[in-house]
Amino acid sequence: GEDVEQSLFLSVREGDSSVINCTYTDSSSTYLYWYKQEPGAGLQLLTYIFSNMDMKQDQRLTVLLNKKDKHLSLRIADTQTGDSAIYFCAALSSNTGKLIFGQGTTLQVKP
């Protein structure tokens, strides 16, 4: 079945770059998303990439997609304490129209 996997935890120092990785299984995935969730809040859409793109940059965020390996990454440059949150990767299936979520990566930013 469709599955999305992420590592559960990442800790970085303020000012460093953070890289959060994600793998997915559904080769029919058309769009891949990154959402951010702060404690007690809903999911905030950060960015997304279409499956025929390799890279997308948006200010401090860079998304890299390796479609052959079904691997997605989110790089946050100059990580700040305000970036501390849970980051969810999600893949949109063209077969079902459903969004499949990973279990989330908790990013801890140390001052």
Partner 1 sequence: DGGITQSPKYLFRKEGQNVTLSCEQNLNHDAMYWYRQDPGQGLRLIYYSQIVNDFQKGDIAEGYSVSREKKESFPLTVTSAQKNPTAFYLCASSRGTSGSTSTDTQYFGPGTRLTVL
Binding site for partner 1 (CB under 8 A): 4, 8, 30-31, 33, 35, 40-45, 48, 50, 88, 92-99, 101-104
Q: Which is nearer to partner 1, 46 or 64 (CB)?
A: 46
Alpha-helical runs (H) found in 12-85: none
CA distance 78 to 84: 13
Residue 18 vs 35, nearer CB to partner 1: 35
CB 63 → partner 1: shortest distance, Å? Answer: 14
Residue 45 or 77 having the CB closest to partner 1: 45
Which of 18/24 has CB closer to partner 1? 24
Q: Which residue is it, tokens 């769009």?
A: 31
Q: 108 has which bridge partners? A: 11
User: 3-state DSSP call for residue 52?
Assistant: coil
Taking the C-alpha atoms of residue 103 and residue 53, their distance in angstroms, rounded to an integer, is 24
Asked if 104 contacts 79 with a C-beta cutoff of 8 angstroms, the reply is: no
